[in-house]
Structure 1
């Protein structure tokens, strides 16, 4: 295969690094567009352009000029905040990409709710509010009901999302949503009030090429309870009844088309009610984070990162499973805010545990789990049998002890177990 030039928008983070490695392994030159304030990008880049992603017009201009000089033949990103920019750059360069006129709807969740509803996708009732009066109106709307969810228009990773069970919580929740607004979403104003969808949480991992979508797997999520919901685990492939899976794929396929995903990955978050009804919460024009790419590789034998490089180049991608196993990831979180003093029992890589990652240094400040970014570490367990994999992951999680010198001691037991020891994932 003749090597080509591939450009990543943002080359920091585990998914971006995996894309860079996959492209390099296939003989491609890897370049990156980065922001000056972002962490160090993936190693062994052939070149990079520094731009201000918070100024989209300028970023598109900088990136397309660089891409033309370097003869770039593929542009892709794993960063949710940059999926619209990627679509605009691909359109300017005439490369495979998503519809630039619809790509904003995979980022602006008010627009997302609107286009999904228009496409016949079942979504929660969503109200955009800008002030206290509109907030009050939304809370008293019987279609929204109680509990409800208040969240930012353009957030990610559960940042700024609050489950509100009484009107007294709403003002603080709206402030939390406003504070979580990304610097990439300068034009977005207001917050969203959304009806609460009760049921089991899943995501659907899909890849679309030339407008044809392949659903790779359904992923079951474990999520904390309470007002702030943080994902503590993912497992795939999740088994759902055939009729439910058919309905799920129908809803997700319609959502993918509605937000203009034509070339690339999508990660669609859904809730399945006890009666089997599927509700689409959100859709992102990117691969699912939280090591879902690793789960796909070890459970189904799909090299999703190599496949996404091929999709971006307009080449046939290998998306068919070559294995039929099971994989789960568990995330470790701190029991409370404070200073991390010790960690015991964290797994080591070995047979059936192909991946472990610890992020927090001893002595560093940590937070109680409020957003996905508060995770301290993760480990993956794989095997041929779903029940055995889940049982082993549960056993390993229970052996982990995270000790924190608490900022508020009464909120933290000295040897409280982390959130990964309380999963709610069914095979």
Structure 2
């Protein structure tokens, strides 16, 4: 029997680890591409699971593309994929060069760069927020002078995890929001597009749609309901799935998501599409990523629906029919632990014990580490997943467990014992 060789572009992170685990469970050889500094953080267990690896620098895209294509040809790679949003354009270009199932390389930046995304959404007739793109502060002030409607959303053209995103209530806040949108730094030392988007604020309920596309045909696995903070910074505090909507609303959502998937050139792979449902029943697409949703959405899909999204991604990358039919009819949710105060983490206690109802508990911050307060998804201190037969009982239990968690953060002062000396 011929050995299947899979190349994962970056294996750091929980989603990538799940992908590697699924591939090794299938008996595939797993090869990885990463940077030297990232590889140094890989666990011994992960390195043992690998059949080979390539070290390159993602901040040098042309050289990285050349390196990955050369390695894939030498090894005889059968599939190339990633769970990392920053690396989806690289994967699209590698797959095109190797003749493997992948996404349209001409549109590869559309699912990464929100300025490119806006352009394609307009061209393809995707219902999306009205957007202005600015490069300089004087352009921003000129926009305000034309009678810009408030509130509005100011965000970077390239970033992830809600970094640099601000809900602006009046013109006096615009310059600060513009500066915040230019602060995020790219992973791996990548240079980011410095343009800033000023978008129409959409009132409504936030969902995401999790999809797998094969040969241009999309299967929508589920809708995910979001719990998001109010105020200046909108940070996701939890997800729950599957969310159920009236049939006509679901049809409208799927139509818009299909347009967004086509606009992003997603032909073979996962898509995570964020949408708002307005009080008047419109579905507005906020943005799309050419990847499985992060924040443990893949884990929720497994527990609620019995679908293995990682195996589905592997099958899609190998050009095989993916198994996408649900085998369970349950509900799953995740609660993220955050501190609304910046400082040093002093206490994080009362976390639930692992059990059939709570299959995942994760801690991201150690006692003594600095925490930033709730400005973006990087502020999460940890999370836990709750599963059960229906939304009401699961959400009630998750909220009960969250109420048992104790988080204490102390401010950092010049005389603080937490200061590293």
Shorter-chain TM-score bucket reads over 0.9
What does the per-residue CA deviation read over 1:262-292, in whole Å, with 9 as the maximum and x for residues that have no partner? 0000000000001110100000000000000
Maintained 8 Å contact 1:2/1:27: no
Maintained 8 Å contact 2:185/2:192: no
Q: How does 1:13-412 map to 2 (within 5 A)?
A: 13-38=13-38, 40-41=41-42, 42-43=46-47, 44-142=49-147, 145-182=149-186, 186=191, 188-407=193-412
What TM-score comes out, normalization by structure 2 length?
Answer: 0.94
Measure the CA separation in 1 of the matches of 2:282 and 2:78. 42
Give the C-alpha shift of residue 141 in structure 1.
4.8
* 3-state DSSP of counterpart to 1:331: strand
What does the per-residue CA deviation read over 1:130-185, in whole Å, with 9 as the maximum and x for residues that have no partner? 1122112333455x511111111111100111111111111111111111142565
* Structure 1 gaps, min length 5: 409-427
* Structure 2 gaps, min length 5: 414-421
Maintained 8 Å contact 1:335/1:402: no
What does the per-residue CA deviation read over 1:388-408, in whole Å, with 9 as the maximum and x for residues that have no partner? 001001101111110112237
Measure the CA separation in 2 of the matches of 1:337 and 1:188. 28
Maintained 8 Å contact 1:206/1:267: yes
* 3-state DSSP of counterpart to 1:38: helix
Maintained 8 Å contact 2:186/2:192: no
* 3-state DSSP of counterpart to 2:345: strand
Q: Please provide the CA RMSD for this pair.
A: 1.5
Measure the CA separation in 2 of the matches of 1:207 and 1:45. 26
* 3-state DSSP of counterpart to 1:157: coil
Measure the CA separation in 1 of the matches of 2:411 and 2:249. 45
Maintained 8 Å contact 1:256/1:266: yes
Number of aligned positions between the proteins: 408
User: Which residue in 2 is equivalent to 1:425?
Assistant: none
* 3-state DSSP of counterpart to 1:91: helix
What TM-score comes out, normalization by structure 1 length?
Answer: 0.93
